Chain A
Amino acid sequence: DAGITQSPRHKVTETGTPVTLRCHQTENHRYMYWYRQDPGHGLRLIHYSYGVKDTDKGEVSDGYSVSRSKTEDFLLTLESATSSQTSVYFCAIRGGSNQPQHFGDGTRLSIL
């Protein structure tokens, strides 16, 4: 299995609180991604990174920010969590062109 670790695996928090999810890889891959997956929507790209300090928005980036200060870590932050952000969040990594993505185990986030 690809060396990807997501933390925390589960989190319950309240509306309005900040939340940070971490993705850590040991593969030294250039590309990293954050997705959310909800029933009826499939996987939706939130943000991605193509190198240290190089990030860009995906299709559902509103309400989320990311940072990548090291190759191995990609952080996803919900500045002020809302109930609509209750979801399963997956991190993925990719080595390069024409390569598949490999996913972490996911983080189940519930915002009450």
Chain B
Amino acid sequence: RKEVEQDPGPFNVPEGATVAFNCTYSNSASQSFFWYRQDCRKEPKLLMSVYSSGNEDGRFTAQLNRASQYISLLIRDSKLSDSATYLCAVTSVEYDYKLSFGAGTTVTVRA
């Protein structure tokens, strides 16, 4: 089983819609969680950290469910510019040096 798994999508949504997707992780000792955004042929860029109580950054909301071992990202009022691949990343207590990345979820927002 992969350490971090994501639904690859693609999620095709109209502008203004809400889209949400999850990322599951296998190590219950996982410590820190992040969402990255990657545009085609570009480097991954940190979108937001994920905190235990959940957190928002504008139109983006991240949640952590430790019991079921997944994190989620919700995008409200989608914009064309939100079209990208979203990667989740997880660290663990045992391997604190290392982030394990999911393969990414592709979101396409259409006009």
Residues of A participating in the B interface, judged by any CB pair closer than 8 Å? 31, 40-43, 45, 48, 50, 58, 88, 90, 94, 97-106
- Report the Cα distance A105→B39, complex, angstroms: 12
In the complex, the chain A residue whose C-beta lies closest to that of B91 is A98
B contact residues around A58 at 8 Å (CB): 98
Q: How many A-B residue pairs have CB under 8 A?
A: 44
- Report the Cα distance A43→B104, complex, angstroms: 9
Q: Which of B10-46 touch A at CB < 8 Å? A: 31-32, 34, 41-46
Given A42-B103, A103-B44, 18 other A-B contacts at CB below 8 A?
A31-B97, A42-B102, A50-B97, A58-B98, A90-B43, A90-B44, A98-B32, A98-B91, A99-B32, A100-B34, A100-B46, A100-B89, A100-B99, A101-B46, A101-B99, A103-B43, A105-B43, A106-B43
Of A31, A101, A105, most buried by chain B (CB within 10 Å of CB) is A101
* Pair A102/B98 contact, Cβ less than 8 Å: no
The total of chain B residues at the interface (CB under 8 A) is 21
With A98-B31, A98-B32, A100-B89 in contact, is A43–B96 under 8 Å at CB? no
* Pair A97/B43 contact, Cβ less than 8 Å: no
In the complex, the chain B residue whose C-beta lies closest to that of A96 is B96
Any A CB within 8 A of the CB of B101: yes
Any A CB within 8 A of the CB of B49: yes
In the complex, the chain A residue whose C-beta lies closest to that of B93 is A97
* Pair A106/B42 contact, Cβ less than 8 Å: yes
Q: Which of B74-96 touch A at CB < 8 Å? A: 87, 89, 91, 96
In the complex, the chain B residue whose C-beta lies closest to that of A31 is B97
